Amino acid sequence: MTAKDVRHRAEELRKQINYHNYRYYVLDAPLIPDAEYDRLLRELQTLEEQHPELVTTDSPTQRVGAAPLKKFGAVKHEVPMLSLANAFSEQEVLDFDRRVRERLEAVAPGVLPPATLVEPFASALPCTAEEVEYSAEPKLDGLAVSLLYRDGVFAQGATRGDGVTGEDVTQNLRTIGAIPLRLYGAGYPALLEVRGEVYLSKAAFEELNAAARARGEKVFANPRNAAAGSLRQLDPKITARRPLAFFCYGVGAVERGKLPGEHGALLAQLRDWGLPVAHEQRVVSGVQGCLDYHRDMAARRSRLEYDIDGVVYKVNRLDQQELLGFVSRAPRWAVAHKFPAQEEITEVLGIDVQVGRTGALTPVARLKPVSVGGVTVSNATLHNQDEIDRLDVRVGDSVIVRRAGDVIPEIVSVVRERRPHGAKPFHLPKHCPVCGADVVRAEGEVVARCSGGLYCPAQRKEAILHFVSRRAMDIEGIGEKLVDQLVEHKLIETPADLYMLTKEQLAGLERMGEKSAANVVAALENSKATTLARFLYALGIREVGEATALALAQHFGDLNALMRADEETLQQVPDIGPVVAAHIVAFFHQRHNREVIERLLDPRVGGITWPAVKIAQRLPLAGKTFVLTGTLETLAREEAKEKLQTLGAKVSGSVSSKTNYLVAGADPGSKVEKARELGVEILDETALLKMLRA
């Protein structure tokens, strides 16, 4: 064959193989036997081996072959991968539907048709109830991932991670046959980010464990663990040997292209482009349709080829989703309706008391190991003394245990008929089991706490680990094992002691040579220049996360002013209520906490400093909302975001009527069109830089 004929044949083979992948993975309707498919693939492999210049990144032959990685890189999701709120009862689903309808009626009156009331909860719905259309889907028990396609070619894949940043598992995702390396058909956007779930079918899970047993290796506890472990292998060849599958359930970022305006139609379009979608997905009418779907899926659950732990309801119209918006880290327009937890009976071997970072004492029942829903359970939280008293749990009791929401093991009840003679009631100790300090329980609280504060070794380790963490003081080289050694050798008692460590002290510890010790000392020195927000977060005040710490810093602008503030003053800060305010006041009222802070700021000890902070109301961009899109030439997008936030601006991921400015770099995508439709002012990079300088 001529070079032209070879190229044409390779292209034809790729086209045929992609089509048969689509028939097999998406339509579940293969046209040819496996042997014929293998023949086509072998022919393509032979051509590419003989003519390496013909190999393309989206060729079906390129699913395996990348070199093992040393570690996964980080991928920041342009559109956050949010978690879902859970509903465990029909009443909670009714409440979700009511909130959806009420909010839609509030922001867009008259957009909904009359609803049909739901029995037997009709009385729970207002007489003005209106009906919403939902997309109902099975909730797979797998690992959430995002797939980025550029001009229809798979370019990058990542795990969900913390919802903002995930791990780059591109090479491993390329090994999964159900994920197309090139989208099928035409009409897809120039950039399309697909969200979905990687999972193992029940049959594949059994085959995987059978093979492991035959090799004398450890078996996986459940399909989800097996899928997660398989996808996070540093060697893609190992992942390729695992029979992973994939279903998509939505999209994230989209640029230069349009998608259907309804979620159900969107999934159908993704299916047409070669992306597998769960066959059980349905569009239902109103909350009654949701509840009927849940009952149907619960009845069919055991017969499905894959594990599910519930179903998901999403408002079907995408414009209504946008109107509903988000709360915290979850959308208002979706909810996961979980199935009842699976239960088993086992024995309480003992009750231990754990002391957490905040000093909270948590009783934990040590159980005779039992399998609950495919997971071996050997511990269950008892929460607090009130819960122990309610259940009347005693050592030696036979108990019913379940995984609440199929996640957290808990004791449901005690089988008193089996209680052994002489079993005694359990009470939390009066003194901390770690440091011996008094255990106190504040009036109105259910949690008992160690009064040892930062001096309690249990709290000390956790407090220091939090202090040095990346989002706090960001001190590289100090991890859990090093902190354990520092505390056990009594080299540190509080975070302030970290800054008194010498290179000689560190070098004398296990696995710490002179170079590593020097690196830690340098990292400690570098951490001294920080921000007030980071410092506040690093202190580990109860319920003060990064966002709250930033709000406090920008509201008060000064640490001393914050430390003097009372609860009423603190509640004037946006998003801070009475509970958080009480925690902040209690923290700063503790003498030993103030002493540690003084040492951290003392130039002779910690020497921590930060630049002056401008009060939020005085910042030039306070109250303004920006959206960034496209590629900026002189600033990384994250850098631009930080500069805007420093000036008091809010940076959002999507354009809405509340957006003040859209900053558009190169290849901005569809956000520009939406900004024009809404009359939002559009800035180029030059205008942004001018604004930042001003």
We report the CATH number of the domain holding residue 458 as 1.10.150.20
Q: Are residues 333 and 351 in the same domain?
A: no
Residue 113 lies in a domain: no
Range of weakest confidence among 148-152, 184-188, 221-225, 418-422:
221-225
Q: Are residues 255 and 170 in the same domain?
A: yes
Residue 108 has pLDDT above 80, yes or no: no
Q: What is the DSSP letter of 358?
A: T
pLDDT at 114: 46
HSE of 588, CA atoms in CB hemisphere, 13 A: 17
Which residue is listed with tokens 């050798």? 489
Q: Are residues 542 and 667 in the same domain?
A: no
- Give the span between the Cα atoms of 490 and 317, in whole angstroms: 60
Residue 306 lies in a domain: yes
Q: What is the share, in percent, of the chain residues with pLDDT greater than 90?
A: 44
If you average pLDDT over residues 485-489, what whole number do you get?
90
pLDDT in tens, 141-156: 888 999 999 999 999 9
pLDDT at 201: 92
Strand 133-140 to strand 143-150: parallel, antiparallel, or no bridges (unpaired)? unpaired
Q: Are residues 518 and 405 in the same domain?
A: no
* Tally of domains within the chain: 6
Q: Is 490 a catalytic residue?
A: no
Most confident of 128-137, 244-253, 457-466: 244-253
Residue 129 has pLDDT above 50, yes or no: no
Residue 111 has pLDDT above 60, yes or no: no
We report the CATH number of the domain holding residue 29 as 1.10.287.610
Q: Higher confidence at residue 65 or residue 16? A: 16
Range of weakest confidence among 174-188, 278-292, 415-429, 604-618:
604-618
Q: Are residues 351 and 403 in the same domain?
A: yes
Q: Which residue, of 472, 499, 527, is where some domain finishes?
A: 527
Range of weakest confidence among 7-16, 404-413, 593-602, 644-653:
404-413
Token pair for residue 579? 């509970």
Range of 150's domain?
A: 138-338
Q: Are residues 191 and 290 in the same domain?
A: yes
Q: Are residues 470 and 499 in the same domain?
A: yes
Q: Are residues 313 and 262 in the same domain?
A: yes
Most confident of 95-104, 125-134, 364-373, 438-447: 95-104
CB 447 within 8 A of CB 458: no
Residue 630 lies in a domain: yes
- Give the span between the Cα atoms of 525 and 519, in whole angstroms: 10
Residue 443 lies in a domain: no
Most confident of 417-426, 457-466, 636-645: 417-426
Residue 78 lies in a domain: no
Q: Other C-beta atoms within 10 Å of 3: how many?
A: 10
H/E run at residue 292: helix 286-300
DSSP readout, 82-134? ---EEE-SHHHHHHHHHHHHHHHHHHSTT-S-B-PPPSS-GGGS-TT-B--EE
We report the CATH number of the domain holding residue 384 as 2.40.50.140
Q: Which residue, of 478, 504, 527, is where some domain finishes?
A: 527
Q: Are residues 411 and 478 in the same domain?
A: no
Strand 439-440 to strand 449-450: parallel, antiparallel, or no bridges (unpaired)? antiparallel
Considering 70, 76, 139, 430, which one is annotated as catalytic?
Answer: 139
C-alpha pair distances (Å), 217 with each of 214, 610, 648:
8, 53, 55
Q: Are residues 257 and 153 in the same domain?
A: yes
Q: Are residues 330 and 350 in the same domain?
A: no
- Give the span between the Cα atoms of 248 and 84, in whole angstroms: 16
pLDDT in tens, 610-655: 998 877 666 788 778 899 998 888 888 878 887 887 787 888 888 9
Residue 481 has pLDDT above 80, yes or no: yes
Token pair for residue 434? 């770690």
Cα 104 from chain centroid? 27
Residue 105 lies in a domain: no
Residue 192 has pLDDT above 50, yes or no: yes
Token pair for residue 109? 């009156």
Q: Are residues 326 and 348 in the same domain?
A: no
